[in-house]
């Protein structure tokens, strides 16, 4: 009984081309500690959250450096 079951399993593993590689990969990930839930929902969720676009800082009322449209244009064209 048991032998039969094992044999059937073996045959299934030898299925269509590319199947072996997929299973071997899966085994490797599992053995290496990359199981399905390895990262946990908390981390995955925190990381996947797209950071909210930062609101443009209010223009300070000073006579010092200000990022005017002209300055922004210079930054834009000097991008490498």
Partner 1 sequence: MSRAVVDHNVQPPVAEEEHLRAQIYTLLARLLARAPDAGLLAALGGLAGEGGEFGTALDRLAEAARGSDPAAVEDEFTTLFIGVGGSERTPYGSYYLTGFLNEKPLADLRADMARLGIARADTVTEPEDHIAALCEMMAGLIGGEFGDGAVGLDGQRAFYDRHVGSWAGRFFADLETSPSARFYRAVGAVGRAFLAVEARAFDLAA
Which of 2, 5, 6, 37 is the binder for partner 1 (CB under 8 A)? 37
Which one of the spans 8-16, 43-51, 56-64, 65-73 is the region binding partner 1 (CB under 8 A)? Answer: 43-51
Residue 49 tokens read as 């959250």
Which of 3, 9, 16, 40 is the binder for partner 1 (CB under 8 A)? 40
Task: Say how many CA atoms lie within 13 Å of 57 toward its Cβ.
Answer: 6
Q: Interaction with partner 1 in 3-22: which residues (CB under 8 A)?
A: 21-22
DSSP state of 19: H
34 makes contact with partner 1 (CB under 8 A):
yes
CA dihedral 34, 37, 39, 44 (to 10 degrees): 130
Are the C-beta atoms of 12 and 23 separated by less than 8 Å? no
CB 47 → partner 1: shortest distance, Å? Answer: 5
């Amino acid at each position: 009984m048991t032998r039969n079951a094992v044999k059937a399993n073996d045959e299934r593993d030898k299925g269509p081309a590319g199947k072996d590689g997929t299973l071997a990969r899966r085994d490797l990930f599992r053995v290496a500690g990359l199981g399905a839930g390895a990262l946990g929902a908390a981390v995955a969720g925190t990381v996947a959250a797209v950071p909210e676009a930062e609101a443009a800082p209010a223009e300070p009322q000073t006579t010092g450096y200000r990022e005017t449209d002209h300055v922004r244009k210079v930054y834009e064209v000097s991008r490498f």
